[in-house]
């Protein structure tokens, strides 16, 4: 049975997709960009602030599903510049505890709303 995730504390979808879907205890969250859910606007102060907002958004989605960061088993990160890879690693050490989830990271030419970074997560309850 498929359950659609719609959390009011996280940014609304900016397109024709759901914030996430839960199937049999596995949560597939759509990619998060640095949108402030209170204003529905991108934070505009650079990569670190976008990344910080994304991690807050992920926390909101998790909390709304009675999950924690420890439930995340896989992330996919999209960067418009791989030079920011070290900043992602730095943020990971503060956001996650060992053992870290599996991860993919790729450079892309462009992201929605001209974001610099997007992160999607998979979690299991």
H/E run at residue 80 = none
CB atoms within 10 A of CB 106: 9
Pick from 33, 16, 19, 20: nearest CA to 124: 20
Domains assigned to the chain:
2-124 (3.30.1330.40)
* Confidence (pTM): 0.94
- Sheet with 72-79: strands ordered across: 2-5, 20-23, 26-29, 117-124, 72-79, 102-107
Tell me what pLDDT residue 82 has.
Answer: 97
What are the structure tokens assigned to 7, written together? 């959390």
User: What's the pLDDT tens digit per position in 87-100?
Assistant: 999 999 999 999 99
Over residues 110-123, the mean pLDDT reads 97
The mean pLDDT value of the chain amounts to: 95
Pick from 107, 27, 85, 95: nearest CA to 59: 95
Q: What are phi and psi of 48, to 5 degrees?
A: -60, -40
User: What's the pLDDT tens digit per position in 35-72?
Assistant: 999 999 999 889 999 999 999 999 999 999 999 999 99
Residue 34 predicted with pLDDT over 90: yes
CB 59 within 8 A of CB 124: no
CB atoms within 10 A of CB 32: 24
Residue 14 predicted with pLDDT over 90: no
- CA–CA gap between residue 87 and residue 71 (Å, rounded): 23
Residue 1 predicted with pLDDT over 90: no
Is residue 94 classed as helix, strand or coil in its secondary structure?
A: helix
């Amino acid at each position: 049975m498929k359950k659609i995730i719609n959390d009011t504390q996280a940014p609304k979808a900016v397109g024709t997709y759901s914030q996430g879907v839960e199937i049999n205890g596995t949560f597939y969250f759509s990619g998060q960009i640095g949108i402030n859910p209170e204003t529905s606007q991108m934070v505009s102060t650079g990569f670190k602030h976008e990344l910080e907002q994304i991690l807050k958004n992920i926390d909101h989605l998790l909390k709304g599903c009675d999950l924690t960061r420890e439930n995340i088993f896989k992330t996919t990160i999209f960067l418009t510049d791989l030079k920011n890879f070290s900043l992602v690693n730095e943020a990971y050490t503060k956001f996650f505890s060992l053992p870290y989830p599996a991860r993919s990271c790729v450079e892309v030419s462009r992201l929605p709303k001209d974001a610099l970074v997007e992160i999607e997560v998979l979690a299991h309850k």
